[in-house]
Amino acid sequence: GNSVTQMEGPVTLSEEAFLTINCTYTATGYPSLFWYVQYPGEGLQLLLKATKADDKGSNKGFEATYRKETTSFHLEKGSVQVSDSAVYFCALGKAAGNKLTFGGGTRVLVKP
Amino acid sequence: NAGVTQTPKFQVLKTGQSMTLQCAQDMNHEYMSWYRQDPGMGLRLIHYSVGAGITDQGEVPNGYNVSRSTTEDFPLRLLSAAPSQTSVYFCASSYSSPDYRTEAFFGQGTRLTVV
């Protein structure tokens, strides 16, 4: 079956530091890959997505590249802000109904 | 611009009670889903629907029922609440596409505690 593994947190950073959150997946065929972000007390919001191999998704300074050869979709941001403090979820989508399989989530805390 | 609306936001139930979590979307999306979020486990799919009148089970369906009589609404029913159902519940919707590569839009969540 499908599965997503992402690094456990919490990750604590200083403002303007570089952020990487690792995500690897197991799936048959060619899933779509997503990063969702959950700010405190809120629902999930789509951060970025990639739908085929070598696609790069980007948004709000975050980037992730769909690497089929390593089955990975690592999230990066060059200079984080306090407002980036949130829980980040890697997910894959496949098949009818757009069912999503999520990783366990990574909590990121950015300190001023 | 409501998007996906869930009610209630918080609920406390006693073991054995029943209740319905409401979910409505105003984006005319065909697909709707229910997930539960537990610490360290991400979100897990409970039930999903690909259109009005069509539902199917996800990864953790036991103890939950759903129905989809309209495109807009997708209620989740707990028939006899158990402490193991203490969780945060999210409803999501998405539009269909030929290659199933569309993102999901999530509600704000319902925090349920079963005592």
Residue A87 to residue A74: CA distance in whole angstroms: 15
Residue B75's alpha-carbon distances to A36, A83, B89, in angstroms, are 24, 34, 12
For residue B101, pLDDT beyond 80: no
| Side chain identity, residue B75 | P
Answer with the residue of higher pLDDT: A40 or B84. B84
B40:A103 CB<8 A: no
For residue A2, the chain B residue with the least C-alpha distance is B59
Among B33, B101, B107, the residue with its CB nearest the CB of A97 is B33
B107:A43 CB<8 A: yes
State the average pLDDT for chain A. Answer: 93
Element holding B48 (H helix, E strand): strand B43-51
Looking at residue B103, its pLDDT comes to: 85
A102:B44 CB<8 A: yes
For residue B98, pLDDT beyond 70: no
Looking at residue A30, its pLDDT comes to: 83
Looking at residue A45, its pLDDT comes to: 94
* Residue among A58, A59, A49, A44 nearest A89 (CA): A44
Best mutation target among A6, A33, A99 (most B Cβ atoms within 10 Å) is A99
B103:A49 CB<8 A: yes
Q: pLDDT band at residue A29, thresholds of 50, 70 and 90? A: confident
Looking at residue B76, its pLDDT comes to: 98
Residue B49 to residue A41: CA distance in whole angstroms: 26
Among B31, B44, B107, the residue with its CB nearest the CB of A97 is B31
Residue A77 to residue A75: CA distance in whole angstroms: 7
Looking at residue A1, its pLDDT comes to: 82
The alpha carbon of residue A12 and the mean position of all alpha carbons in its chain are separated, in whole angstroms, by 17
Looking at residue A5, its pLDDT comes to: 95
List all residues 6 or more positions away from B62 whose beta carbon is below 8 Å from its beta carbon. none
Q: pLDDT band at residue A59, thresholds of 50, 70 and 90? A: very high
Q: What's the rounded mean pLDDT across residues A50-75?
A: 95
SS3 call for A3: strand
| pLDDT tens-digit map of B13-62 | 999 999 999 999 999 999 999 999 998 788 999 999 999 999 999 999 99
